[in-house]
Amino acid sequence: MVVGFAILAAWELVTAAGVVAFRKPIYNALSLVANMLGLAVLFLMLNAQFLFAAQIIVYAGAVMVLFVFIIALMNPEADISFSPSGTEWIYGVVFGGIFAALLGALLFNRGLTGRPGPFTPAVIDAAGNVQAVGTALYTTFLLPVEVTSVLLLMAAVGAVYLAMRRIR
């Protein structure tokens, strides 16, 4: 588990550096998607399957698609073609392989050590992971969740407004 966390931490650092290092906004968004996928794997390592699925579906899926559309609307003349050199393909294959191996090892609940983890299905059912997350989201953290949703809606409306203003 420690080796898996170290690999995941390196993944997170590299993808976070990519978010701020690339010059084209579309590459920054793709690095952020990779970072969010790594965070989802971290949730899976912690046996928080609901947060794992929510991270992939909501953040890496829906929110990042929204960001990519906003980037495309803000700069429609931008060239977003991708012609990788030899080293970029190597990096992609290496990091993709590491991510797939780590995710595969965690999905089979064996970690990288080959031993079963401490959380059996009975332990997970007794803890009520989904129920605890739902209770927290709709009681304690209801206001921050709603504020975040309104903020994302305002960002989308603002991007559409700016794009429409440029077209006219």
- Exposure string of 8-24, with b = 16+ CB inside 10 Å and e = fewer, is beebbebbeebbeeeee
Tens of pLDDT, residues 50-85 = 888 888 888 878 877 777 777 777 765 665 565 666
What pLDDT score does 38 carry?
92
Q: Which domains does the chain have, with CATH numbers?
A: 2-167 (1.20.120)
91-123 pLDDT per residue, tens: 778 888 887 887 776 666 555 555 555 555 665
Q: Hunting for tokens 């976070």 — which residue is that?
A: 16
